[in-house]
Amino acid sequence: MVDAEKQKIAEFLDIAGDFLGNGYKSEPREYNLNDAPAPAAYSGADSLEQIAMEIKSCRSCPLCQKRLNAAAGEGVAEPLVMVIGEGPGEDEDKQGRPFVGKAGQLLDKMLDAIGLSRATNCFIANVVKCRPPANRDPFPEETQACAHFLDRQITLLKPKFILIAGRIAAQTLLKTSEPVGKLRGKFFELEKGGMRIPALATYHPAALLRSEDYKRPAWEDLKLFKSKIDS
């Protein structure tokens, strides 16, 4: 099947999905329909450096086409907590680091309030490593293309706890369509790399910047998370 035929099929499936969903046609998607080779397999022992190198050269989905810098992740190598968000924004795309814009600065303050820091006991990453255009939600095929990177990071880092920031990260990691408002306030167990890791979902710091209404429940989530760590 040639690329043009693949494109028509993809567009038809999008239109059908829109019709069956809300009846409105969504913005057209970008597709990487070339028969590109799979990412090169890594040799020897896996490492965070190896994963970061593969992320920087990855071309498995269309997000690579407009990125400035991929944001692989940042923090300590043996974290107590791994924080997982959605994806890089404009500032993160410029710097190649996760959570460095206004939302990232707020996240640092939130973590500091319960004794956590990317400098001492946390590792911060996202479900997608490249910025979606105009900060739109990443498409399922984009989160899927990045999934093996995140899985390998979790397996290597072996965090004792995971804090999930925001709807996209929560729905991706917990494999659900429930809104984050229904997922927050309780612990789940993520099975990764033979481990069962307690995970708590809460609102993304960007949501707190948009609305004061999310600040109190987010603080309640952080207190619950701190209590779990201390226990």
Longest dimension (CA), the chain: 57
Report pLDDT for 135: 93
Find the angle CA(208)-CA(210)-CA(211) to the nearest 5 degrees.
65
Find tokens 């979902």 and name the residue.
201
Say which residues have a Cβ less than 8 Å from residue 81's Cβ, sequence separation at least 6. Answer: 111, 116, 121, 122, 123, 159, 160, 161, 162, 163, 229
Res 178: pLDDT:
97
How far from chain centre, in Å, is Cα 65? 19
Q: What is the Cα–Cα distance from 59 to 36, expressed in whole angstroms?
A: 8
> Which sequence spans correspond to the domains of the chain?
1-35, 40-230
Protein fold of 40-230: Uracil-DNA Glycosylase, subunit E (3.40.470)
| CB neighbour class for 197 (10 Å; exposed up to 12, middle 13-18, buried from 19) | middle
Whole-angstrom distance between the N-terminal and C-terminal Cα of the chain? 57
How does pLDDT run along the chain (231 residues), one tens digit per residue?
Answer: 444 554 555 565 455 445 444 454 555 555 444 444 444 444 458 999 999 999 999 999 999 999 999 999 999 999 999 999 999 999 999 999 999 999 999 999 999 999 999 999 999 999 999 999 999 999 999 999 999 999 999 999 999 999 999 999 999 999 999 999 999 999 999 998 889 999 999 999 999 999 999 999 999 999 999 999 999
Structural tokens at position 168 = 């996209």
What are the helix and strand counts (H, E) for the chain? 9, 6
